[in-house]
Amino acid sequence: MQYTHLGRTGLLVSKLCLGTMNFGPQTTEADSFAIMDRALELGINFFDTANVYGWKKGEGWTEQILGRWFAQGGGRREKVVLATKVYGGMGDWPNESKLSAYHIRRACEESLRRMQTDHIDLYQMHHVDRETPWEEVWQAMEQLVREGKVLYVGSSNFAGWHIAQAQGEAQKRHFMGLVCEQSLYNLNARMVELEVIPACQGLGLGVIPWSPLAGGLLGGVLQKIEAGRRASERLQRDVEKYRPRIEAYETLCASLGEAPADVALAWLLHNSAVTAPIIGPRTLEQLNGSLRALEIQLDEAALQRLDEIFPGPGGTAPEAYAW
């Protein structure tokens, strides 16, 4: 396994992050345990979850699965850089969502209880909250850090100016602020290249791409459909919308002798701004296969061809849209 620093911190994390969103709804608890055990064997030490995962409001189903896995002992908790998130609705009563100090504190306590741990290594804001002032957000996060319940704070789904604004306010308070941003980023979704990634690079934040395979679109979907495997309705719609791109992409991957999913991950890892793409395996087979991406070196010709198939926004702002 390869490791890198999380943003400007001294914390070392694996260059692949284990996403747990499938644990519970799509992957049984026993299989989830096996995947997490195997991840540790492979050297993956960075696990990502969220209090809303499991999609049963207020239950934190996925966090509970992690908690029962940690409770088995064997150094499991000590080996994991544990990341979870706050923002989503955890109930129907007022103040059970978003980023008020009230909800941040309560959500943190509940995540700690579900995951059977005394601290969260990386506490990420799942979305920006335009209705809560940064002085309130940072005061709440600072208190959690002082109490040892949170070590680092990150963001997810922020715009570039949100990141800059958050960091400016944190600096006023002499607080470290954000150390990473988790964004939708893959070959077919490159909008963050305009301003989010430059903001992260300028302010020392690591970039953690979610949905690196575009929900399966970049995972060899045409090959799988031809083999008789049924795609979801959403994925079928995406296939028809982007069929020429996907056909060209899978042809390129075949010429490289690599699996489409591995090429998609390798392309992200080629970007020095990227800390670790989030892989969300439903099975042990998918987890084991992901490691190939760390070995792939894409040459200039391959990178250029990928840019032709999946054109980005034209670079960084403002040059991407101005002179």
User: What is the spatial distance between Cα 60 and Cα 84, in angstroms, rounded to a whole number?
Assistant: 11
297 by DSSP, 3-state: which?
coil
The whole-angstrom distance between residue 162's C-alpha and the CA centroid of its chain comes to 18
Residue with tokens 């296969």: 289
- The amino acid sitting at 254 is A
User: What is the spatial distance between Cα 147 and Cα 156, in angstroms, rounded to a whole number?
Assistant: 23
Catalytic residue check, 53:
yes
Task: Give the active site residue among 3, 53, 102, 185.
Answer: 53
**CB of 54 within 8 A of CB of 43?**
no
Q: Is the peptide bond before 277 cis (omega within 30 degrees of 0)?
A: no
Is the Cα dihedral 128, 175, 200, 90 positive or negative? Answer: negative
Long-range contact set of residues 103-111: C-beta below 8 Å, sequence gap at least 24:
104/137, 104/140, 104/141, 104/144, 105/140, 105/143, 105/144, 107/51, 108/144, 108/149, 108/150, 109/149, 110/51, 110/60, 111/51, 111/60, 111/63, 111/84, 111/86
Task: Give me the helix-helix angle, 134-146 and 160-172, nearest 10°.
Answer: 60
User: What is the spatial distance between Cα 98 and Cα 294, in angstroms, rounded to a whole number?
Assistant: 36
User: What is the spatial distance between Cα 98 and Cα 311, in angstroms, rounded to a whole number?
Assistant: 34
- Residue 287 phi, psi (nearest 5): -65, -50
Beta-strand pair 178-184/150-156? parallel
Residue with tokens 């087979």: 285
Please identify every residue annotated as catalytic.
53
